[in-house]
Chain A
Amino acid sequence: ETGVTQSPTHLIKTRGQQVTLRCSSQSGHNTVSWYQQALGQGPQFIFQYYREEENGRGNFPPRFSGLQFPNYSSELNVNALELDDSALYLCASSLIQLAGSYEQYFGPGTRLTVT
């Protein structure tokens, strides 16, 4: 167990709808990254939040947005859902201190199905 939690576990939405996924980071961690993992693929980086600000973004459209709260928990919001958004959404928690390497620990994920 990594101490990273995500909710909900599973979700079914209709094309065009909006969805919010939630993540609570591991105690003592200050950074959250979100990934999308399609079936048979590796996780794809969506964005990272550090001290409540977006720290970097992958190749995802603006309809993917996020928030990080003072307690370091985070939300991923996806607007105008498309069928291709069906995937496992993973939250990864880290402690970043100054410059240097850091490890990421994943939560259990949210399985999103768009019909």
Chain B
Amino acid sequence: QKEVEQNSGPLSVPEGAIASLNCTYSDRGSQSFFWYRQYSGKSPELIMFIYSNGDKEDGRFTAQLNKASQYVSLLIRDSQPSDSATYLCAVRPAGGFKTIFGAGTRLFVKA
């Protein structure tokens, strides 16, 4: 079992729709959770972080964390073609230094 699992996609959604990206993790001691966006040929860009159970909203992005189910998700509302990228889920244990990344989900937003 991989430590952080994501569906590789591609996930294709029409412009204006909600894109839902999911991630599961294996270490129950995980405390910090991150979503990065990575455009082709570029480095990852931090778009959301969440440390407590529940929802966290920032503009068009909402991160959802359920520690009991070891599940974290990212919702992108009003998806735009510029949101087309690979989205990386990352997890870090409590007091840890090692951040573990999933392989990423490719999102394609059709105009």
What residues make up the interface of A, taking CB atoms closer than 8 Å to B?
A: 2, 33, 35, 40-45, 48, 50, 55-56, 58, 88, 90, 99, 101-109
Contacts and interface: CB of A to CB of B under 8 A. Distances in A.
Nearest to B8: A40
Contacts of A88: 43
B31 A42 contact: no
A103 B34 contact: yes
For chain B, give the interface size range: 20 to 34
A90 B43 contact: yes
A42 B45 contact: no
Contacts of A90: 43-44
A105 B90 CA distance: 13
Contacts of A99: 95
6 contacts: A40-B103, A44-B101, A48-B97, A101-B92, A103-B49, A105-B46
